[in-house]
Amino acid sequence: MNKKQLLIFLFLLQPFLSRAQCLSSVNPVGGTDNLLVLEKKSLRIISFYRYGQGNRYFEGTEHADFNLISKAYYNYFSIITGYGITNKFSLELETGYFLNKTQKYNISPEYALTGKGLSNAVLIAKKSLYTEPIKRIYITGSAGAKIPFSREMQQQEYVTLPVEVQPTIGALGTVIGVSFVKESSGTGKRYFFTSRFETNAENKEKYRLGSSLFNSFYISQHLRHPKLKDKWTAILQLRHEFRTPDRLNNEIKGSSGSTLLFITPQLNFVLYDEWYLSGLADIPAYQYFKGTQLGAGIGFIFIISRTIRL
């Protein structure tokens, strides 16, 4: 990480480290996302680390014998900063940094390609569309823009790295979404549904990532056993990911596009009534790929979040 990237990182992290009064908000966190708008003049910082990997190829839904890459993995750090402009409108900034995106090739001697660096900044506006406090039903819509930190493709030994290990594709994009939350105060349960659609423009090399649709359903249960002291919450997420094929020079790229289904258990813990710590595992339950592609393995995410009043 160079000096410029370090300054950007510290600037984004600074509000998270400042001293402020904790704010109790109805807005829950599901996975790594804010699901609703934030309360007026409140700031929420979600910081998380994600590890993902894969080591088996698929053709359609079946395992393939192709073994060019023995393993692909990445380590990713992200900060999501949200601020409540009003009680019905908030802004969020998502940023991320790849410590590495690595592909190890099944050749001798062992050879690997690695990309790293800042990925994209995603600026999102969220608006409360429907609120029913008595029935505890909340619906929020969102829209935003995805902006790459760099338009240039990274190289290793004077060779341009493949798209799969680039920290950013170097293209603008758009993001739209909707979130639904239903709470049951008597049972301590919450039910969430989120949908997020992303599109991408062409980059300077005429490469265009396919569009993506992410749908997630969550069930959250507050654990009320006396020994747990109301500090633990269990969440189970079922996530569907659909990606259209990529394009190069406006022609469909072979072996791109997929449909994936993940089961994701998550456990949240409240520390000092201010800090929220979470851990979750991304477990692939179904994978379908167009052509021959490297599949997803089990991934892990660790989250720290805090909501403060300025």
Write down the mean pLDDT value for the chain.
88
What's the confidence (pLDDT) of residue 309?
A: 85
User: Residue 51 is encoded by which pair of tokens?
Assistant: 């590890």
Cβ proximity of 14 and 33 under 8 Å: no
Q: DSSP class of residue 204? A: T
Kindly state the average pLDDT of the residues 188-216.
95
What's the confidence (pLDDT) of residue 274?
A: 83
pLDDT of 20 above 50: no
Of the candidate ranges 24-33, 122-131, 174-183, 198-207, the one whose mean pLDDT is the lowest: 24-33
pLDDT of 276 above 60: yes
How many angstroms separate the CA atoms of 296 and 258, rounded? 11
Residue closest to 131 by CA, chosen among 143, 123, 141: 141
User: Residue 297 is encoded by which pair of tokens?
Assistant: 């393995």
Q: Quick one: pLDDT band at residue 147, thresholds 50, 70, 90? A: very high
How deeply is 165 buried, as exposed, middle or buried, from its count of CB atoms within 10 A (0-12, 13-18, 19+)?
Answer: buried
Cβ proximity of 205 and 246 under 8 Å: no
Of the candidate ranges 15-29, 32-46, 57-71, 121-135, the one whose mean pLDDT is the lowest: 15-29
Q: Is the dihedral of CA 191, 300, 197, 305 positive or negative?
A: positive
Q: Quick one: pLDDT band at residue 63, thresholds 50, 70, 90? A: very high
For the stretch 219-254, pLDDT in tens is 999 898 877 778 899 999 999 999 999 999 999 999
Residue closest to 146 by CA, chosen among 128, 119, 164, 165: 119
Q: Quick one: pLDDT band at residue 17, thresholds 50, 70, 90? A: very low
pLDDT of 34 above 90: no
pLDDT of 177 above 50: yes
pLDDT of 280 above 90: yes
Cβ proximity of 247 and 207 under 8 Å: yes
Kindly state the average pLDDT of the residues 107-127.
94
Cβ proximity of 153 and 179 under 8 Å: no
